[in-house]
Amino acid sequence: MTVREVRSIPIPNGIAVENVGETTYRDEFARRVRICKNEQKDAILYRVTELEPGSLLAEITSKAAAQLGSYLVLRWLELPRFFLERDAVFLHASVVRWQGRAILFSGQKQIGKSTQAELWRRFRGAEVLNGDRALLRRMDGLWMACGSPFCGTSGICVNGKIPIAAIVLLQKSPYNRIEPVDLKRTFAAFLSGCTFDAQNRMEAEHVLSLAEQIHREVPVFQLCCTPDEKAVLCLEKAMKGEYNDV
């Protein structure tokens, strides 16, 4: 993939085939092109052109370049689709390694994923592996949290693959309480927390299929928690089969 910064990008004349957030169209050379306009819809922020299968040219305006984030890179490279075709999915989560296994803290933005990961590092000596995204993939009969270069503002992205001990869906609370979640809650968490084309029905169904498999094979909890060691203790007990408010 080639990325270059440009001063401006002309409005295309191709035939639009999709128009959700980004617009996908075919240009005069029948190449697949994705563009994204600004909020006023009068200028293009970036354009990604498929020069040939497996070869992409991403052009981004100077204004948009300063805001380049991991989500855009994921979209440009179409990595979510690539891995979904291989039964793997990116989940928005902070990941720690504790006693040789991975604990994933997932939830909406600013819910406290990095905070809970840091608490485990501080009070249990866990190693923070990633602050933003993990690739979940079943390997050798186990669901693994695999290293990802997309780590948000944490800057922490350790490569490797670790069996998953638990996926923890976070909720802020003045107390600590944990419980296993039902399949419906797991579905909701994966639809909101995984990176995929939400307008593509086949991709959405694939994510739900993987979520169902993970739900059957990996403990998935909802943790109402405070930002202190009590939250660590509450989860630690739950992973041993003890469910007590802390």
* DSSP result, 135-178: EEEEETTEEEEE--S--GGG--B---EEEEEEEEEEEE-SS-EE
- What count of residues does the chain have? 246
Kind plus residue range of the DSSP H or E element containing 183: helix 183-193
Output the average pLDDT for the chain. Answer: 87
Check pLDDT > 90 for residue 135: yes
More confident residue, 41 or 128: 128
Element (H, E) at 80: helix 79-84
Average pLDDT over residues 9-34: 75
**Predicted confidence band of residue 188 (pLDDT cuts 50, 70, 90):** very high
- Going from the C-alpha of 220 to that of each of 39, 106, 150, 163, 238, the distances in angstroms are 38, 10, 23, 14, 11
Which position has the higher pLDDT, 23 or 204?
A: 204
Q: What pTM value is reported for the model?
A: 0.76
Query: pLDDT at position 221, please?
Result: 98
- 82-119 confidence digits (pLDDT tens): 889 899 999 999 999 999 999 999 998 889 999 999 99
Q: Closest Cα to residue 101, out of 83, 123, 79, 127?
A: 127
Judge whether 115 and 227 are in contact, CB under 8 Å.
yes
Q: Give the whole-angstrom CA distance, residue 176 versus residue 66.
A: 39
Report domain extents, the chain. Answer: 2-68, 83-238
CATH class of segment(s) 83-238? alpha beta
pLDDT at 136: 97
Tokens read off for 158: 């350790």
Residue 243 in this model has a pLDDT that exceeds 90: no
Strands 161-172 and 142-146: antiparallel
Instruction: Say which residue, 148 or 22, is predicted with more confidence.
Output: 148
- Residues of the chain with pLDDT > 70, as a percent, come to 88
- pLDDT tens string 214-242: 999 999 999 999 999 999 999 999 999 98
Q: Quick one: tokens of 229? A: 């060691």
